[in-house]
């Protein structure tokens, strides 16, 4: 009896044609092609975090418009009323390589334009990329008699990669302006334009010049175009779920619960369904280990730069309510941290109040919370990930046992010799550091915990204790403890039965560590 064939999980594969030819697992998203065709719109934009399937969907559109029907056998698109006659397709992939010098974008555009000119027998003309692109679109239309389909993958990558290099940022913006302005000026030659990226950024002609572009990033009807839904998981990953269950000795229900806790929880519209991270899901099925997959491949440094730039309260950011206007666009000259966290996938929609028009945001799942906070911790302290395990267990034990001397000594050592320039002279950054650490070790913690008399800097709960901790920069610890007592911060917890421990802390901005503390 032959060995049973193992499912091929296409980790990192972004080519629909390659995926189908190699008989890899494919979750059918082709019904969304019909939605696009039926809408009558010519211009589309889809914003999603990285590694969520944008490139694969764009590749699917490419094969569809090229008339490669054999690749769609057994899929929804094969049942559509469509003549499958090929259209000319220009696939502008900006997700290739880095953009660290001015010539990098120009070289990439020149390579693509030269390829299209050669493919369609167009005489190459000297001049700027925008002018050449206009000629290519028009000439292809004249040669084929069909409107051109233009697919742009990660249209914003050159800009996102250079948010903090104004010279490159401005140069790339001008270059992209010249390219994207053709979508309006060459409209008579175009069948469809579909762009993907992280965000609908301002100050680009693609959005200011095209007033009829359809942004489907928050559209309920496209909420599941990227990612894996619960039903899609059940329908397509039975073998993988079964293999995980066997390995860990779980029931299928227990395995599904773990998959949901680790990798589910993304929502991309007010009434959309929750989605699993496809990259992480494919990895856990292949590797058969619950790990942080997506977060390790991310670009958290971009967010770190914004945390340095703004006085950000991480706890508020992780549980925020905001309008659609705060999420759907991004001013590249002055990016808002909330929008950036959402668009890069570190925050997601948890609920939507249609009356108020407000979205409640939160961290999607265990992978993002653990991975993101683990990434940030070394920049707020001297703890490195490979040194953290003994520290974590000891700190938990100290808090659970009420060993104030023990955990205060550990917190003091955590800040000593901090070399990163996170500006620990800001009290907010001190709050963030303690919040990150205590969330990572699994303690129930809140910063700026509000009472009727004011807000507690740091409030920690264990089974036996309440810890009320007040922080002062370059001021006596006794002053911090006096504030706890004067404002009766402990009063609301007196009837609970747990012991209340009050701690005043002084943090030195000269030594960048805790200089003294006192227990009340």
Q: What is the pLDDT of residues 385-419, one digit of tens each?
A: 555 556 767 888 899 999 999 999 988 887 765 54
User: 345 with 52: CB under 8 angstroms?
Assistant: yes
**Confidence (pLDDT) at 299:** 58
Pairing outcome for strands 444-451 and 454-461: antiparallel
Closest to 206 in 3D by CA, of 172, 186, 177: 177
User: 178 with 129: CB under 8 angstroms?
Assistant: yes
Q: Provide the CA 55 distance to its chain's centre, in angstroms.
A: 15
Q: What pTM was estimated for this model as a whole?
A: 0.84
> What is the distance between the alpha carbons of residues 46 and 33, in angstroms, rounded to a whole number?
13
**Continuous segment of H or E residues that includes residue 2:** none
Low-confidence ranges of the chain (pLDDT < 70): 1-5, 201-211, 297-312, 329-335, 379-390, 392, 416-427
Show the DSSP H helices in 182-251 as ranges: 182-185, 205-208, 230-236, 238-248
> What is the distance between the alpha carbons of residues 275 and 231, in angstroms, rounded to a whole number?
10
**Assigned token pair, 137:** 């679109």
Q: Provide the CA 102 distance to its chain's centre, in angstroms.
A: 27
């Amino acid at each position: 009896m032959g060995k049973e064939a193992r499912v091929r999980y296409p980790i990192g594969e972004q080519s629909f044609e390659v995926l189908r030819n190699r008989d890899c697992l494919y979750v059918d998203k082709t019904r969304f092609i019909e939605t696009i065709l039926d809408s009558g719109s010519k211009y589309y934009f889809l914003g999603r975090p990285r590694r969520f399937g944008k490139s694969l969907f764009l590749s699917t559109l490419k094969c569809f418009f090229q008339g490669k029907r054999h690749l769609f056998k057994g899929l929804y698109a094969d049942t559509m009323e469509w003549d499958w006659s090929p259209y000319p397709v220009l696939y502008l992939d900006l997700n290739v390589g880095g953009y660290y010098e001015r010539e990098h974008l120009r070289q990439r555009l020149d390579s693509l334009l030269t390829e299209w000119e050669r493919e369609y027998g167009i005489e190459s003309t000297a001049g700027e990329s925008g002018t050449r692109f206009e000629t290519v679109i028009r000439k292809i239309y004249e040669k084929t008699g069909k409107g051109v389909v233009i697919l742009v993958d990660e249209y914003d990558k050159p800009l996102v990669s250079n948010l903090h290099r104004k010279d490159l940022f401005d140069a790339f913006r001008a270059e992209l302006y010249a390219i994207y302005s053709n979508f309006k000026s060459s409209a008579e030659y175009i069948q469809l334009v579909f762009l993907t990226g992280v965000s609908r950024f301002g100050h680009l002609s693609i959005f200011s010049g095209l007033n009829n572009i359809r942004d489907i990033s928050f559209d309920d009807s496209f909420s599941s175009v990227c990612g894996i839904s619960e039903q899609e998981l059940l329908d397509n990953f039975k073998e993988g779920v079964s293999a995980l269950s066997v390995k860990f000795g779980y029931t299928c229900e227990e395995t599904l619960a773990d998959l949901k806790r680790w990798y589910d929880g993304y929502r991309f519209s007010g009434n959309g369904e929750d989605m699993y991270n496809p990259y992480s899901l494919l990895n856990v099925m292949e590797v058969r280990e619950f790990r942080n997959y997506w977060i390790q491949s991310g670009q958290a440094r971009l967010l770190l730069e914004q945390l340095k730039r703004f006085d950000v309260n991480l706890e508020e950011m992780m549980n925020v309510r905001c309008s659609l206007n705060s999420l759907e666009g991004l001013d590249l000259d002055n990016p808002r941290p909330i929008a950036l966290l959402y668009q890069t996938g570190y925050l997601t929609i948890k609920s939507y109040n249609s009356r108020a028009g407000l979205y409640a945001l939160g961290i999607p799942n265990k992978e993002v919370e653990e991975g993101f906070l683990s990434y940030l911790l070394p920049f707020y302290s001297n703890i490195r990930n490979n040194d953290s395990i003994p520290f974590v267990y000891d700190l938990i034990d100290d808090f659970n046992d009420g060993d104030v001397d023990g955990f205060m000594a550990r917190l003091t050592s955590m800040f000593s010799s901090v070399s990163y320039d996170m500006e620990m002279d800001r009290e907010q950054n001190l709050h963030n550091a303690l919040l990150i650490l205590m969330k990572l070790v699994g303690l129930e913690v809140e910063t700026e915990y509000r009472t009727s008399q004011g807000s507690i800097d740091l409030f920690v709960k264990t089974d036996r204790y309440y810890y009320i901790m007040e922080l002062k920069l370059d001021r006596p610890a006794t002053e911090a403890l006096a504030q706890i007592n004067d404002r009766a911060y402990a009063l609301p917890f007196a009837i609970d039965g747990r012991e209340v421990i009050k701690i005043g802390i002084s943090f030195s901005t000269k030594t960048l560590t805790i200089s003294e503390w006192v227990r009340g």
